[in-house]
Amino acid sequence: MKKILNILMAALVLAGVSCTDDLEYKPGGVTPVKTLLLPADNYYVELQSASTATLCFSWEPALAADGQLPHYEVVFFSQPGGEIVYRYDAGSSTSIDIAHKEINRIANAAGIDVGADGAVYWSVVSSRGVDTAPVTAEPRKLELTRLLGFNVIPDQLFLTGEATEVGEDLSNACVGRKTGDGEFTFYQKLEAGKGFTFVSSKGDDRTTYTVVNGVLSDESVEPATIDRSGIYRIKLDLNVRGITFEHIDRVEFNFAPRTEDNRDMDYIGNGCWKLSNYSVEFREESWGLDQRYNFHPVFDGVMYVWAGAKGNDSSPSELSGADYYIQTENLYTGDAYGPEKFKFHSDFNGKKVDITLIMSGDVENCTHVIEIVG
């Protein structure tokens, strides 16, 4: 019996070793990228802040021993033969469009000052699993002019000051809506002749931004002022130190089938407008009930349309949610219906409602809320 038990134990040990061997990862190997395609060596680009501004990088593929697609990173150097200062994940593709704003960060990592001319060098690293090939393709030179922005761009921005609706108490500062990398929008009523600033946080480590000679500055704490009291849409682009102020004359609620019932909405503060006790009456047409509506903001005398997704022809199935998000803004052409619109939920027909338009940074998406009040 003892001999049988010893044999069984030996068999189990051998089986365990065999299983362990089977589970061990065996790297398959990958060839390096040998040829870079785009951009050409010594290519020059003047970086732009637009979200659509990109530069295409491409290369010939590497080969993995296991037959699967390799993984690629575009790597950047401050000088030929130097250390890698930035890596950009390209996945399994052999080309990638890198945003100018990302290249601006790469240039910063390479030591190029804001607004200055300089050069970075790039190549591509291939890998498969834990196996990484060396940089073989000779790095190419990319000449560029950096954006005239800030080296450190915050993920959030607040508006505070005596001129604002919330006053100088920093704890009450209103948060901006982040609309892109380094881009923020505020809707706020400002009082002429009184000061306001933008801050990166409500803590002691905050950076303060103000307006000097029409551009943003982080070197002055002197509050900015505005010449005309009113409600404004304020757009900031910290990538280029840009700021614009658009006076919002009014916001009109537009019920397309009954434009005679259109009314201006009341501004209630913090980027919100409200229309109270509005009587909803769908118009009966030969094809059914017409229940289309949208919003008409007027910026400095020019009317625009705020509406849902283009081509949206469905009534919402819920009384709140994504069907109520403001997703488009276009110049008003005089067509009350237009391609961009919302549709009332069927529950609102024949009812009195309050409609609240919310454009502030306190909500994740610009939206509106409709409540039955009678």
As a whole number of angstroms, the distance between CA 24 and CA 282 comes to 69
Q: Which of 240, 272, 300 is the last residue of a domain?
A: 240
Q: Which of 145, 177, 194 is the last residue of a domain?
A: 145
Question: For residue range 160-218, what is the model confidence (pLDDT) as tens digits?
Answer: 999 999 999 999 999 999 998 899 999 999 999 999 999 999 998 899 999 999 999 99
pLDDT on residue 284: 81
Q: Does residue 355 sit in the same domain as residue 302?
A: yes
Q: Does residue 229 sit in the same domain as residue 255?
A: no
Q: Does residue 189 sit in the same domain as residue 236?
A: yes
What range does the domain containing 182 cover? 158-240
Whether residue 28 lies inside any domain: the answer is no
Q: Does residue 218 sit in the same domain as residue 110?
A: no
Helix and strand counts by DSSP (H, E) for the chain: 2, 29
Whether residue 211 lies inside any domain: the answer is yes
Strands 43-46 and 140-145: parallel
Whether residue 20 lies inside any domain: the answer is no
pLDDT on residue 4: 45
pLDDT on residue 340: 83
- CA–CA distances in Å: residue 41 to residues 111, 139, 216, 339: 20, 9, 35, 46
CB of 270 within 8 A of CB of 357?
Answer: no
Say whether 48 sits in a helix, a strand or coil: coil
Beta-carbon neighbour count of residue 110 at 10 Å? 21
Task: Check the CA dihedral 116-121-126-129 and report its sign.
Answer: negative
Q: Which of 243, 261, 246, 269 is nearest to 352 (CA)?
A: 261
Q: Does residue 138 sit in the same domain as residue 69?
A: yes
Distance of CA 59 to the CA centre of its chain: 28
The CATH number covering residue 114 comes to 2.60.40.10
CB of 55 within 8 A of CB of 140?
Answer: no
Residue ranges for the chain with pLDDT beneath 70 = 1-28, 310-313
The DSSP symbol for 372 reads E
pLDDT on residue 312: 62
pLDDT on residue 17: 44
CB of 302 within 8 A of CB of 295?
Answer: no
Whether residue 365 lies inside any domain: the answer is yes
Whether residue 79 lies inside any domain: the answer is yes
CB of 35 within 8 A of CB of 60?
Answer: yes
Amino acid at 346: S
Q: Does residue 40 sit in the same domain as residue 136?
A: yes
Token pair recorded at residue 181: 């990398």
Beta-carbon neighbour count of residue 75 at 10 Å? 17
Whether residue 13 lies inside any domain: the answer is no
Q: Which of 113, 145, 177 is the last residue of a domain?
A: 145
| DSSP state letters, 233-287 | EEEEETTTTEEEEEEEEEEEEEEGGGGGG-EEPEEEETTEEEEEEEEP-PEEETT
All residues at 6 or more sequence positions from 259 whose CB lies less than 8 Å from its CB, including other chains: 336
As a whole number of angstroms, the distance between CA 361 and CA 174 comes to 8
pLDDT on residue 313: 66
Q: Does residue 226 sit in the same domain as residue 330?
A: no
Question: For residue range 256-278, what is the model confidence (pLDDT) as tens digits?
Answer: 888 888 999 999 999 999 999 99
The CA-to-CA distance between both ends of the chain, in Å, stands at 90
Q: Phi/psi at 346 (nearest 5 deg)?
A: -60, -25
Amino acid at 90: A
Whether residue 3 lies inside any domain: the answer is no
7-42 in b/e form (b: 16+ CB < 10 A) is eeeeeeeeeeeeeeeeeeeeeeebebbeebeebeee
Q: Does residue 279 sit in the same domain as residue 218?
A: no
Q: Does residue 358 sit in the same domain as residue 282?
A: yes
Whether residue 17 lies inside any domain: the answer is no
Q: Does residue 218 sit in the same domain as residue 278?
A: no
